[in-house]
Structure 1
Amino acid sequence: MTGNIRPSRPRQPERPVRQENLRTLNLELVFRHILAAGQPISRTELATSTGLTRPTITRIAEELLAGQLIAETSLTHNGRAGRPRVGLTLSGRGPAGLGLDIRADALAACVVDLTGTVRHLAFTPSTFAGRSAPDVLTRLAHMARAALDAMAAEDLTVVTATLAVPGPVHDGIARSAPELGWRNVDAGALLRGAIAPLDLPLTVDNQANLAALGELYASDNTLDSFVYVSGGLGIGAGIVVDGQLMRGARGWSGELGHVTVHPDGKPCPCGSRGCLQTYASLQAILSDAPVPGGATPEVTVTEHAEAGSPATLAALDTAGTTLGIALADMLNILDIDTILLGGSFSLLASWLTTNIRAEIAQRVLSTAWAPITIRPALLGPDAAVIGAALTSIDQIRQHPTAWLTRPPSRSPASPA
């Protein structure tokens, strides 16, 4: 067989390493070793593990300490005589990331510091029926301001914010979120305008993707391939393979809620019919059942199920079955062995898992040789907002020099 074979993409030509680039490479090398250690590490241990000289380690450590990226702490004697050694670890003061989320029953704001510790987590109960995008995002901006003020009082500087929305996002625009009544909403611009005049970089991303990243961070690298299924306003999936989030060619992957489970089924707000969302979303499970004042949809469904409501139990059976059908197709294509039930599904897992497992056992070819793990997500309904905050702070973890070389400016929580 003959034909033209496309040549591989040429590699970028290598360039000489200049002195300033070498300093950056060494600084990031040392920082990565401190980050990976998981516990305080001494300067001597850093010199051994990195191959850098002790004076170089000392200079870099002083720079990282001055930038509040690391902190000093005492190490144990380890049975040796003399003064305790001084260890270096990630700092709980300095840069932090802000996550914002639009959930089925509430707005959420979260701040995570460089160590990955949640320093602020707040919710505002909210329903979205009849509310415009500017109204929802203005309320979220008030929560962002409150979080920034609270963190400034603790000597933390929020460096970036990430907004999670339930639907595909492209160029910062929420292209389609039928449950919110949004289509081509520039959520980033609206939120920036509501937060102004505070100068805070902001990104917008898909809720399920951010939740999957939150679970990936929370697993401490013990879980590197999984499908995260987000249940709430809609149904989405975050797909992680070998520790990397699969976004697709245009960032639209994971729209599990719009996988067809019944070709001639119920009409969906997206314009199609028989989508998984019309059978397994919270709205579908609740049907016409009212949500009492002060309650949430998840709690209402749980209370009805625990009380033995025939309608709720039947709806949960349908939800579990249709979820299993949709997930079986995904697993046959992706060959992934772990499913995390997140968002509202993490609270309803005990009623959903049996039917999901039955459909997967029947439909996924690999189950005869390799079992599929199905379990609730570790972070529960908070995964998206925590994942959004962690995504923001991960930029500093990946590129610490960007923080150290930033131009001097007021704290984001300071008035302009």
Structure 2
Amino acid sequence: MRISGLNNQRVRQHNRRTIMTLVWRLKRLSKSQLAQHTGLSIPAVSKIIDELVTDGKLSHSSENLSNRGMNSGHYQIPDDGPLILCMNVSPTSIESQLIDARMLPVGDFSWTDVNAQTPEALLKAIENLWQQQRKRWPGQRINLALGIHGQVDTATGVSQTMPQAPWKKPVQIKYLLEEKLGITVRVDNDCVMLALAEKWQNPQNRDDFCVINVDYGIGSSFVINGQVYRGTLNGSGQIGHTIFDRDGVACACGRYGCLETVASLSALKKQARVWLKSQPGSLSLDPDALTSLQLLDAWRHGDANIQRWAEQAANAIGLTLYNLLNILNINQIWFYGRSCAFGEPWLQTINRQIGFTPFDQGDAGRTRQTEIAFGGLTRQQQIIGIGYLFVEDALEAG
């Protein structure tokens, strides 16, 4: 095994990347602020940012960020780079937000209903939204960042499985769109989109955290030591396919009793439909046309059955997370997805099941209880998260 040390060149690269990371995250920083955040001296910071400005990585503004003392303006990402159209893509809907080179929103967040029965129809819907933006911004390069439901091969940009789709074959989303539109396309899983959104836009995050999306299915993404962990086969985060009940019902993955089959929003709808068919006229709901919104509305109005099923789902999630925390010792978890509309009672049930993990006790008896909460980012911020694939690529490239 070979372990490399850090020569002067690597130290310089590390410091450049640290400064760029800070500017991407905080948007505008003065020399003194950069020195304060990095622990480097003002002369060292000055040398690095002068190089970055010369390389076109940073731009300087004479606007002062403070009225105290001498101030030489601030530094930020140049605004002359390509725009990025961020999308959260499923066969039934596409959420999109255009952002500029600094990862700041341009225009309004939008939701588009689609009914894609084929991969070609879904690609066409993506292209149509991109073409609409190109008409608004003629002559401007607009790249694509796509968060895709299901498993994605990030190296090739292939959607390997999309659970809600009528088709079962892989789709070469990145290649086909790049060939058709002549732009750069980045593709990853929709839970990675949420993890990137949290990592780059929530200053309260720790270096290790997890996001869990409880919606149609149950997905998750882990950030470990500040980096999204995907696994060599891009299979990390399949918490929804953890076996919860060995004698349970069949899951779409081919196994039985996965967490998704008892705790996802689609599982609760299935449970409600079965009960409604056995109780004609109950709740004045059509079991064959039951929607997630109707299910949540019935819960809010105190339907005892739905409240009980939601609590059982939360118990299952909590027990699964207890095992996860004992393996990974991640002490910060953010929940997203439509199931979050079940509110604090649902979250408290999850917390009760987790309790204290054996690792919650810190040094000298100091307790660091696992932090479990609803994610606080807006839907617009969540969609912007997938755009940070371009930032991480740029940082990796130096």
Equivalent position to 1:139, from 120, 125, 130: 125
Which amino acid is the alignment partner of residue 87 of structure 1?
H
Query: Is the CA contact (8 Å cut-off) linking 2:148 and 2:187 kept in structure 1?
Result: yes
Q: Please state if 1:224 is matched with 2:207.
A: yes
Q: Counterpart amino acid of 2:127?
A: A
1:256 and 2:239 correspond: yes
| Letter in structure 2 aligned against 1:74 | E
Relative distance call for 1:196 and 1:86 in structure 2 (3 A) is same
Q: Are residue 356 (structure 1) and residue 350 (structure 2) matched?
A: yes
1:241 equivalent in structure 2: 224
Match of residue 122, structure 1, among 110, 115, 135: 110
Q: Which residue of 2 aligns with 1:51?
A: 44
Contact 1:40–1:75 (8 Å) recurs in 2: no
Q: Does 1:379 align with 2:377?
A: yes
CA offset digits 1:107-160 (Å, max 9, x no partner): 1122333433222422102456xx22222232122122323444x36x8643x4
Q: Is the 8 A contact 2:264 2:313 kept in 1?
A: yes
1:101–1:165 Cα contact (<8 Å) kept? yes
Contact 1:343-1:380 at 8 Å conserved across structures: no
For the Cα contact (< 8 Å) 2:91–2:164, is it kept in 1?
no
Distance 1:322 1:41, change over 3 A: same
Q: Which amino acid is the alignment partner of residue 323 of structure 1? A: I
| Segment drifting more, 38-47 vs 236-245 | 38-47
Deviations, residues 238-293 of structure 1 (Å, cap 9, x unaligned): 01122111212321011011111110001111111111111122211222366999
Root mean square deviation of aligned Cα: 3.9
Question: Residue 27 of structure 1: CA displacement?
Answer: 7.5
Structure 2 segments unaligned to the other structure (5+ residues): 274-284, 362-366
- TM-aligned CA distance change 1:51 to 1:361, over 3 Å: closer
Distance in 2 between residues matched to 1:134 and 1:226, nearest whole Å: 36
Alignment of 1:258-337 (within 5 A): 258-287=241-270, 288=273, 297=292, 299-337=293-331
**Residues 133 and 79 from structure 1, CA distance in 2 versus in 1: closer, same or farther, beyond 3 angstroms?**
closer
2:218/2:260 contact within 8 Å kept:
yes
The structural deviation recorded for 1:32 is: 5.6
State the distance in 1 between where 2:393 and 2:96 align.
Answer: 19
**Distance in 2 between residues matched to 1:145 and 1:11, nearest whole Å:** 48
Gapped regions of structure 1 (runs ≥ 5)? 1-7, 401-416
Distance 1:185 1:87, change over 3 A: same
User: Residues 399, 371 of structure 1: CA spacing in aligned structure 2 closer, same or farther, 3 A cutoff?
Assistant: same
* Structure 1 segment 84-95 matched on structure 2, within 5 A: 85-95=72-82
The equivalent residue for 1:41 is 30
Larger deviation, residues 200-209 vs 253-262: 200-209
Matches within 5 A, 1:136-215: 136-150=122-136, 152=137, 157-158=141-142, 160-170=143-153, 171-188=156-173, 193=176, 197-215=180-198
> Structure 1 residues 71 and 184 mapped into 2: Cα distance closer, same or farther (>3 Å)?
farther
Partners of 1:291 and 1:300 within 8 A in 2: no
Give me the whole-angstrom Cα distance separating, in 2, the residues matched to 1:45 and 1:230. 35
Greater length-normalized contact order (CA 8 Å, ≥ 6 residues apart): 1
| The 10-residue stretch of structure 1 (365-374 or 326-335) with the greater mean CA deviation from structure 2 | 365-374
Q: Does 1:61 align with 2:53?
A: yes
Q: Report the secondary structure of 2:335's partner residue.
A: strand
Q: Secondary structure at the match of 1:183?
A: coil
Question: CA offset at residue 367 of structure 1?
Answer: 5.3
Please report how far the alpha carbon of residue 93 of structure 1 lies from its aligned counterpart in structure 2 after TM superposition: 4.5
Separation (CA, whole Å) in 2 of partners of 1:29 and 1:331 = 30
Residues 218, 290 of structure 1: alpha-carbon distance in 2 compared, 3 angstrom cutoff: farther
Q: Show the counterpart of 2:278.
A: none
Any runs of at least 4 consecutive aligned residues in structure 1 with deviations exceeding 6 A, and if so which? 21-30, 43-47
Count of residue pairs the alignment pairs up: 373
CA separation of 1:308/1:135 partners in 2, compared to 1, >3 Å: closer, same or farther? same
CA drift at 1:370:
4.0
The offset of 1:44, in angstroms, is: 12
The C-alpha deviation readout for 1:154-181, integer Å capped at 9, x for no partner, is: x8643x4232222222232222333324
Distance 1:241 1:342 in 2: 19
Residue 107 in structure 1 maps to residue 94 in structure 2: yes
Instruction: Please name the residue that 2:336 is paired with.
Output: 342
The share of aligned pairs that are identical, in percent, is 19
